Amino acid sequence: MQKRILGKSGLEVSALGLGCMGMSYHRGPAPDRNAMISLIRKAVELGVTLFDTAEVYGPFINEELVGEALSPFREEVAIATKFGFNYENGKSMGPNSRPERIRQVAEESLKRLKSESIDLFYQHRSDPNVPIEDVAGTVKDLIRQGKVKHFGLCEVGAQTIRRAHAVQPLTAVQSEYSLMWRHPEEDVLPILEELGIGFIPYSPLGRGYLSGALNERTTFDSSNDNRATLPRFTVEAMKANRGLVDLLTEFGRSKRATPTQVALAWLLARKPWIVPIPGTTRLERLEENLRSADLEFTAEEWHGLDRAASKIKLQGDRYPVDQAKLVGH
């Protein structure tokens, strides 16, 4: 597996990481725990060194899963986790990034991850009640104490990135980014390049849509699959957006690459400091994803894909209005 360095931080990780959220939460019935531990360990064997989790996934049980799975390889891998919420009866009750809460989460996450330090500690979502300078200062103290190695932010805008970075240099920003959602190109990617910060795209396959496995006949369990509430996953939107999957299919045909592999390779080709974290619960999908790092297309081929994709008018916002308010500040 190829390696990449996240910006100027010096943190070197595999070109593709593994998003672990769906292994215990959020996409239908939870898979068998032992099977997911085996899958994570297989990912290590295949060269993956960046694993993404969060306290909110479950909550808490995903960190425990990742911590147990990676304990034999702790010095060989980087684990990213996140803070930023309150909980009541096991449910998130809104943002909380007050300094005392960040310190509490760090201690609890370290225990669940069976680790002496957190490799990459993200603020999961902005907290309108806490200045970002206070958040960055708190993480800076945790870094001084050796409890955290690197600082990150999720789903933030350019000004928040600049303000946080001035207090404690950021190693990475994590946001949704794919051929289905290119908004980070407008202001986030330019400031990351300016400041020397890595970028971690989550949902690099458009929450599964770009794999070609979903269509207008697909149904989602409204009790635990948030795609049931997302405008881009209505019957009308999925039918209208099929042209993008068809484009990826045709583009990859000459190199026997799947739509999934083309979508991931496209992200890798954007910048050398971009590290996508596709999630999966299946070994065959993991292997398929990782093979995308070996695909080679010319710059002109990528330009051709971009030109063709720009002609496809995608339908459906990525979040309902109330959820959209929590991202991009």
Which CATH number do you get for residue 121?
3.20.20.100
Q: What is the structure's pLDDT at 321?
A: 80
Q: What is the structure's pLDDT at 329?
A: 59
11 assigned to some structural domain: yes
Count Cβ atoms within 10 A of the Cβ of residue 202 and give its class: 0-12 exposed, 13-18 middle, 19 or more buried. buried
73 assigned to some structural domain: yes
329 assigned to some structural domain: no
Q: What is the structure's pLDDT at 328?
A: 66
R_g of the chain, CA atoms, integer Å: 19
Indicate if 177 belongs to the active site. no
pLDDT tens-digit map of 278-322: 999 999 999 999 999 999 999 999 999 999 999 999 999 998 887
DSSP 133-152: HHHHHHHHHHHHTTSEEEEE
| 3-state SS class at 174 | strand
Q: Which of 57, 122, 202, 209 is catalytic?
A: 57
107 assigned to some structural domain: yes
Q: Give the strand pairing for 91-95 and 85-88.
A: antiparallel
pLDDT tens-digit map of 131-174: 999 999 999 999 999 999 999 999 999 999 999 999 999 999 99
Q: What residue numbers bound the domain in which 207 lies? A: 3-324
Nearest Cα residue to 141 out of 132, 151, 131: 151
* Residue 76 near residue 105, CB atoms below 8 Å: no
Q: Is the per-residue pLDDT at 30 higher than 90?
A: no
Its pTM stands at 0.96
94 assigned to some structural domain: yes
Instruction: Give the C-alpha separation, 153 to 124, whole Å.
Output: 7
Instruction: Give the C-alpha separation, 202 to 276, whole Å.
Output: 6
Q: 83-97, 157-171, 230-244, 259-273: which has the minimum mean pLDDT?
A: 83-97
DSSP 226-280: GGGG-GGGSHHHHHHTHHHHHHHHHHHGGGT--HHHHHHHHHHHH-TTB----B-
Nearest Cα residue to 163 out of 133, 121, 208, 128: 133
23 assigned to some structural domain: yes
Instruction: Give the C-alpha separation, 37 to 64, whole Å.
Output: 10
Instruction: Give the C-alpha separation, 209 to 53, whole Å.
Output: 22
164 assigned to some structural domain: yes
Report the length, in residues, of the chain: 329
Instruction: Give the C-alpha separation, 82 to 109, whole Å.
Output: 9
pLDDT tens-digit map of 108-137: 999 999 999 999 999 999 999 999 999 999
Please compute the mean of the pLDDT values over residues 25-29 and round it to a whole number.
76
Q: Which residues face 86 on adjacent strands?
A: none
Torsion of CA 69, 72, 75, 79, to 10 degrees: 10
283 assigned to some structural domain: yes
> Residue 4 — φ and ψ, nearest 5°?
-140, 150
Total number of domains constituting the chain: 1
Per-residue pLDDT band for 249 (boundaries 50, 70, 90) equals very high
Please compute the mean of the pLDDT values over residues 41-69 and round it to a whole number.
97
